[in-house]
Amino acid sequence: MRPKIYLFGDSITEESFGDGGWGSSLAHHFARTVDVVLRGYSGYNTRWAVKVAERVFGAAEGGGGGVNNEEPLVVTVFFGANDACLPNRCSAFQHVPLDEYKRNLRSIVSFLKKRWPTTRILLITPPPIDEDGRLRHPYIENPSNEPERTNEAAGAYAKACVKLAGECGIPVIDLWTKMQQFPDWKNACLRLGFEINPETRQIPPDEKTTSRTKKKEETLDKDDLYLVRIPAILRPSLRDGLHLTRSGNEIVFEEVVKKLAEEGFSPETLPVDLPLITEIDPRDPLKSFQQ
């Protein structure tokens, strides 16, 4: 059986297997060496994650009622964006106080270590927040017309996550800090000198480019700015002030791959599942499958 990497988190994890998502990129990166298993739950915070951890990881995948004893290589734990919702705003039901957030993360880490002592655990902090983006894209009715999340609050939870990782002696990706190292990470598109026409949903003709599906002169949605041929470092990272664009997913993917390589996990260090085509003898193909 191939070893596994579990991705445990909220909507940023749940969406990671979409086109260009960091999870699907990870699965492609480890093709033929690791099965990347998605365990993402949109809207969840660490309080809810603690409650469901036994159900998420407890039952054997092969049937029966026992615990799955096959230890995965890695589990990524990516929570905090919902915990950091403000307690007096429209998404207050998702809010978890900072001290509890840290305790919950510790509980999740302890649960995983007890379940699988040799499994590496990789924490990922919540991303930064574009508050204007959150006002433009509210998930529920927002009578106060104030963002339910702020970048300052997200930063506090990110720092708590980094601190907890240090206390537990496990690796962490400080996504909140990393993403903000890119120039004008919130509004990079505006720096290029053009905007999408809000009525036609188009960009100026001289800025259009061929999409991955090779449909030329395609009308682009605001969420599809990655189709424009601009450097990745200048592309916006958040599509609605919270969730990741293709460029944001690229940042997560690259950081996860880097951390995993530091832990000794890469396609070069892991055995390949079954013989490669280059290893099969054309004169006696079945001989390669006798081992």
Mean pLDDT of 258-285: 92
**Tens-place pLDDT, residues 85-142:** 887 764 678 899 999 999 999 999 999 999 999 999 999 999 998 766 665 655 556 5
Query: Sign of dihedral through CA atoms 148, 153, 155, 161?
Result: negative
Which residue is it, tokens 């403000």?
86
Q: What are phi and psi of 242, to 5 degrees?
A: -140, -55
Q: Which pLDDT value is given to residue 265? A: 96
Rounded distance between C-alpha atoms, residue 255 and residue 244, angstroms: 14
Q: Which residues are catalytic?
A: 11, 240, 243
270: left (phi over 0), alpha (psi -120 to 50) or beta: beta
Which residue is it, tokens 């060496």?
33
Q: Which pLDDT value is given to residue 245? A: 79
Domains of the chain with bracketed CATH: 4-182+240-289 (3.40.50.1110), 188-235 (no CATH)
**Tens-place pLDDT, residues 157-210:** 999 999 999 999 999 999 999 988 887 666 532 222 233 343 443 434 433 333
Mean pLDDT of 233-242: 54
What is the enclosing helix (H) or strand (E) of 5? strand 4-9
pLDDT surpassing 60 at residue 234: no
Q: Which pLDDT value is given to residue 40? A: 96
- Beta strand residue intervals within 32-92, DSSP E: 35-40, 74-78
Q: Which pLDDT value is given to residue 60? A: 39
- Taking each helix axis from N to C end, the angle separating 46-57 and 98-115, rounded to the nearest 10 degrees, works out to 10
Q: Which pLDDT value is given to residue 221? A: 45
pLDDT surpassing 70 at residue 145: no
> Which two three-digit tokens encode residue 239?
């599509």
Number of CB atoms found within 10 A of residue 43's CB: 14
Mean pLDDT of 227-245: 54
> Which two three-digit tokens encode residue 161?
């996550």
What is the enclosing helix (H) or strand (E) of 248? helix 246-262
Q: Which pLDDT value is given to residue 243? A: 73
- State the average pLDDT for the chain: 78
**Tens-place pLDDT, residues 2-59:** 999 999 999 999 999 988 899 999 999 999 999 999 999 998 999 999 999 999 997 5
